[in-house]
């Protein structure tokens, strides 16, 4: 009997899905239940039905998991950004390891039980870890606010203190919003078409106690320079204030070039013995604590010696390239983001690194060009977007056959698909999940592949 919207059903939750939801079966129909935990029994209402699956809303938990906890965030029910706050942290780490196993079972021919999938590397404190926030502005009856939108809705949730943001980000955001509000600025919405504010982007680096603030606007107003100066003068750790004009046709928060309002165009960070400059629109890992563990793991995994040529693909601001250059003969860092490559070149100069070449171009076009010049890598480091590797990149890897590939992934599904496309040319030595985003369903991992 086919499910229909509104049906009341009971389910045994068999596993955790890739988005953190519970998964059960009703008359062989796959049912996803947000908020449910494996081994629970729930009564739920069907809210969506497709050909091969349905979605249910918990009405009552009939058998409660011993791993269930009360979410510490007061916005949990409305915000929806932290999908797994209701699950004990140690169990979250097990679930993320399980999600990787599920992906390899589904998308590859590997015997998953024979793969060396390590335990997830977690955090001592799984809160206050994000070093960057991107929050939309909204007008409320109490004035200007920032927050998030409830998933799959236009319902705005005002967030005064996000418990996964570094506490300094919450402090800075609150003071910036007050300054803008006191100066009469409004968010751009249907009720206030003259309002110009769209997003507030804040990055804070704890080691150097420095922050950047970027205000995304619908149009530029000259008074923004006054706001920039006020932010710099009243919030001591803000070193950079910029603005960018929003492109409503783009899904990117920062969709156009940045312009300086006050301070510098970048802020500084430190990593091991490196000094690093970071522009507000350049890519930088959002979890500083876990970033350090991840880079250490990459260096430990990679077999790099004084004669090694390394390709660092999707290299960001160049931290991994610079670290690898200390033990390699030459490193080529490639990234499509001009802002990131500009920072990478400056960071190499700042740290007196001369055996790294950075290329601002899409990997799928730059990598074949290097290969056609006769440059063959011994080791390739990959850190692609969630969509995974483009076919041209997989073809280039299959052509050059580097001795090792270190694949840093933020999407277990595309990781498994990409490795499967490499056929039997590589063996999986190990897969190490690392929890970059605690309390969410995001799964980061480092996979070491070695040539057969």
- The residues carrying an active-site annotation are 410
Neighbours of 289 (CB within 10 A): 16
Angle at 419 between CA 418 and CA 422, to 5 degrees: 95
Instruction: Sheet containing 15-16: give its strands across.
Output: 8-12, 41-49, 53-63, 29-33, 22-26, 15-16
Residues 6 or more apart whose Cβ sits within 8 Å of residue 104 = 110, 112, 115, 412, 416
Distance between CA 152 and CA 154 in Å, rounded? 7
Angle, to 10 degrees, between the axis of helix 167-182 and the axis of helix 224-234? 140
For residues 419 and 407, is the Cβ–Cβ distance under 8 A?
yes
Pair of tokens at residue 374? 């006769």
Q: Starting at the edge strand that comes first in sequence, how are the strands of the sheet with 356-360 ordered?
A: 356-360, 330-335, 309-313, 379-382, 404-409, 444-451, 426-434
Total residue count of the chain as it appears in this document: 452
DSSP state of 184: T
Buried b vs exposed e over 247-282: b needs ≥16 C-beta within 10 Å?
eeeeeebbbeebeebbbbbbbebebeebebbbbbbb
What's the rounded Cα separation, in Å, for the pair 157 and 136? 10
Q: How many helices (H) and strands (E) does the chain have?
A: 10, 22
H/E segment holding residue 197: strand 197-205
Give me the phi and psi of 52, to 5 degrees please: -115, 0
Task: Using DSSP, state whether 432 is helix, strand or coil.
Answer: strand
> How far is the C-alpha of 268 from the C-alpha of 281, rounded, in Å?
14
Asked if 368 and 350 touch (Cβ cutoff 8 Å), the reply is: no
CA dist 144 and 123 (Å) reads: 34
């Amino acid at each position: 009997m086919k499910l229909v919207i509104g049906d009341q059903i009971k389910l045994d939750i068999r596993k955790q899905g890739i988005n953190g939801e519970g998964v059960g079966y009703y008359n062989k129909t796959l049912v996803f239940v947000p908020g449910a935990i494996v081994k629970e029994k729930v009564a739920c209402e069907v809210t969506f039905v497709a050909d091969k699956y349905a979605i249910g809303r918990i009405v009552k938990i009939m058998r409660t998991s011993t791993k269930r906890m009360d979410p510490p965030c007061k916005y949990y029910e409305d915000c929806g950004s932290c999908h797994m706050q209701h699950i004990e942290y140690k169990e979250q780490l097990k679930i993320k390891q399980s999600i990787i196993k599920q992906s390899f079972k589904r998308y590859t021919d590997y015997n998953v039980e024979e793969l060396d999938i390590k335990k997830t590397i977690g955090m001592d404190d799984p809160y206050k870890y994000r070093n960057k926030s991107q929050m939309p502005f909204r007008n409320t009856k109490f004035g200007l606010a920032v927050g998030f939108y409830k998933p799959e809705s236009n319902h705005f949730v005002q967030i005064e203190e996000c418990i996964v943001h570094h506490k300094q980000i919450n402090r800075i955001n609150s003071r910036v919003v007050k300054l803008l509000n006191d100066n009469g600025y409004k968010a751009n919405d249907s009720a206030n078409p003259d309002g110009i504010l769209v997003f507030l982007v804040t990055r804070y680096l704890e080691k150097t106690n420095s922050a950047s603030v970027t205000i995304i606007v619908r149009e530029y107003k000259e008074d923004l320079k006054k706001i920039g100066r006020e932010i710099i003068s009243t919030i001591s750790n803000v070193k950079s204030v910029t603005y960018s004009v929003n492109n409503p046709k783009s899904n990117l928060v920062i969709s156009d070039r940045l312009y300086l309002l006050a301070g510098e165009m970048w802020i500084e960070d430190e990593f091991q013995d490196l000094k690093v400059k970071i522009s507000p629109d350049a890519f930088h890992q959002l979890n500083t604590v876990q970033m350090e563990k991840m880079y250490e793991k990459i260096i430990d995994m990679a077999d790099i010696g004084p004669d090694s040529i390394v390709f660092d693909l999707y290299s960001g601001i160049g931290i991994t390239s610079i670290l690898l250059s200390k033990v390699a003969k030459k490193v080529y860092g490639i990234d499509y983001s001009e802002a990131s490559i500009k920072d990478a070149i400056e960071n190499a100069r700042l740290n007196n690194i001369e055996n790294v070449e950075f290329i601002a171009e899409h990997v799928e076009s730059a990598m074949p060009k290097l290969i056609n010049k006769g440059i063959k890598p011994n080791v390739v480091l990959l850190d692609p977007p969630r969509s995974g590797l483009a076919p041209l990149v997989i073809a280039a890897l299959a052509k050059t056959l580097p001795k090792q590939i270190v694949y840093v992934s933020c999407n277990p599904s595309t990781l498994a698909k990409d490795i499967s496309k490499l056929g039997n040319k590589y063996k999986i030595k190990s897969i190490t999940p690392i929890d970059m985003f605690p309390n969410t369903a995001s799964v980061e991992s480092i996979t070491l592949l070695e040539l057969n």
